[in-house]
């Protein structure tokens, strides 16, 4: 175990290269329980469940590719990844923050019920599937690049924002919005999705209504973009006049008549 100083603060370093995920997570849990508030995991490559189920205010920094289910079911930590994350980051997390400098895999934010995930690059398929919110807390997923099919599938609450930084948008009528795939918001029945640009009807599934807004008009959207820019130290001011599509479910029970004969 070494101590290093990053940004003037002492940090414990865990050399993770070749360490099995069980051993690595045992060590992380031990150090967090002992009151360490900053850990640096060097040489991570595919280890699963990092930070899973942990509570508290510690900060984990990860160098490398974090494995499946990073921060699953965690409540309160802040995880910063200098690299990509594989599938299922933030699975069922309740609180805290995951910030990813690279890209994220499929089912990122799966059933998350609180906390925030910030991804500078792209996100995979079925991202934000079954996200939730509760009275005092809502899950937030902010994506700097683009996302695959089924974004916000079965979404029950919380917020997803797709910015598409540096991705040009063609404004041709009925053309696909390149920041998302097909079947956007299939089965969505709660929460809010903001996607930069216009979206043709065929890319959206389910009983959702779409409206247009801009960060200038919408203080809520603006605050999420500012949060994203601050968390990743980026300048997103150029987005302020961009058009965003804003999706919400139609009414409180959009699928009440799904199994009616007339439907």
Partner 1 sequence: MVERRDDYHQCYEGKIRIPSGCAVAGFINKTGERVNGGTVAEMMALMHERSNGLGAGYAAYGIYPEYRRAYAFHLILADHRTREEVEAILARNFRITEEHEIPVRRTGRYKKAPLLWRYFCDPLRLDRDGALDELLLATTMRINRLAPRASVMSCGQDLGVFKGVGYPEEIAEFYRIDQYRGYSWIGHGRFPTNTPGWWGGAHPFSLGEIAVVHNGELSSYGTNKSVLENFGYEMSLRTDTEVMAYAIHYLRRQNMSWPLVAKVLAPPHWAELERMAEPERELAAALRRIYGGLLMNGPFSIIVAFHGGLMALNDRLKLRSLVAGTSGTDLYLASEEAAIRQVCPRAEEVWPLPGGEALICCAEEESACHVA
Residues that bind partner 1 (CB under 8 A): 21, 45-46, 48, 64-65, 67-68, 84, 86-87, 105-106, 124-126, 148-150, 181-182, 202
Shortest Å, Cβ 126 to partner 1: 8
Shortest Å, Cβ 46 to partner 1: 2
* Of residues 147 and 247, the one with the C-beta less far from partner 1: 147
Compute the distance between CA of residue 185 and CA of residue 181 in angstroms, rounded to an integer.
11
* Of residues 124 and 164, the one with the C-beta less far from partner 1: 124
User: Which of 197, 201, 202, 190 is closest to 246 using CA atoms?
Assistant: 197
* Of residues 32 and 188, the one with the C-beta less far from partner 1: 188
* Of residues 202 and 237, the one with the C-beta less far from partner 1: 202
DSSP 35-53: T--EEEEEEEES---TTTT
* Of residues 124 and 191, the one with the C-beta less far from partner 1: 124
* Of residues 65 and 218, the one with the C-beta less far from partner 1: 65
Shortest Å, Cβ 62 to partner 1: 12
Q: What is the number of alpha carbons within 13 Å of residue 84 lying toward its C-beta?
A: 13
Shortest Å, Cβ 206 to partner 1: 14
Shortest Å, Cβ 71 to partner 1: 17
Q: Length of the chain, please?
A: 263
Q: How do strand 137-138 and strand 156-162 relate by DSSP bridges?
A: unpaired
What SS3 class is residue 23?
helix
Burial tier of 176 (Cβ tally within 10 Å: 0-12, 13-18, 19+): middle
Compute the distance between CA of residue 87 and CA of residue 223 in angstroms, rounded to an integer.
27
Shortest Å, Cβ 67 to partner 1: 6
């Amino acid at each position: 175990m070494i101590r290093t100083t990053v940004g003037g603060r002492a940090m414990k370093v865990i050399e993770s290269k070749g360490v099995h995920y069980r051993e690595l997570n045992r060590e992380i849990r031990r150090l967090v329980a002992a009151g360490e508030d900053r850990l640096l995991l060097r040489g991570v490559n595919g280890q699963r469940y990092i930070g899973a189920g942990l509570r508290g205010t510690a900060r984990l920094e990860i160098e490398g590719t974090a494995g499946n289910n990073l921060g699953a079911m965690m409540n309160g930590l802040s995880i910063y990844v200098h690299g990509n994350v594989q599938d299922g980051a933030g699975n069922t997390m309740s609180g805290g923050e995951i910030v990813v400098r690279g890209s994220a895999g499929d089912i990122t934010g799966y059933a998350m019920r609180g906390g925030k995930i910030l991804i500078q690059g792209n996100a995979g398929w079925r991202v934000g599937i079954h996200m939730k919110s509760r009275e005092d807390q809502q899950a937030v997923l902010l994506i700097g690049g683009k996302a695959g099919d089924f974004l916000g599938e079965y979404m029950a609450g919380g917020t997803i924002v797709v910015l598409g930084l540096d991705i040009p948008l063609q404004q041709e009528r009925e053309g696909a919005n390149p920041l998302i795939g097909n079947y956007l918001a299939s089965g969505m029945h709660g929460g809010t999705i903001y996607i930069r640009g216009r979206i043709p009807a065929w890319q959206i599934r389910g009983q959702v209504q779409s409206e247009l807004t801009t960060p200038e008009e919408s203080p809520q959207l603006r605050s999420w973009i500012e949060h994203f820019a601050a968390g990743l130290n980026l300048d997103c001011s150029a987005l302020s006049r961009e058009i965003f599509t804003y999706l919400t479910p139609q009414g409180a029970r959009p699928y009440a008549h799904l199994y009616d004969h007339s439907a």
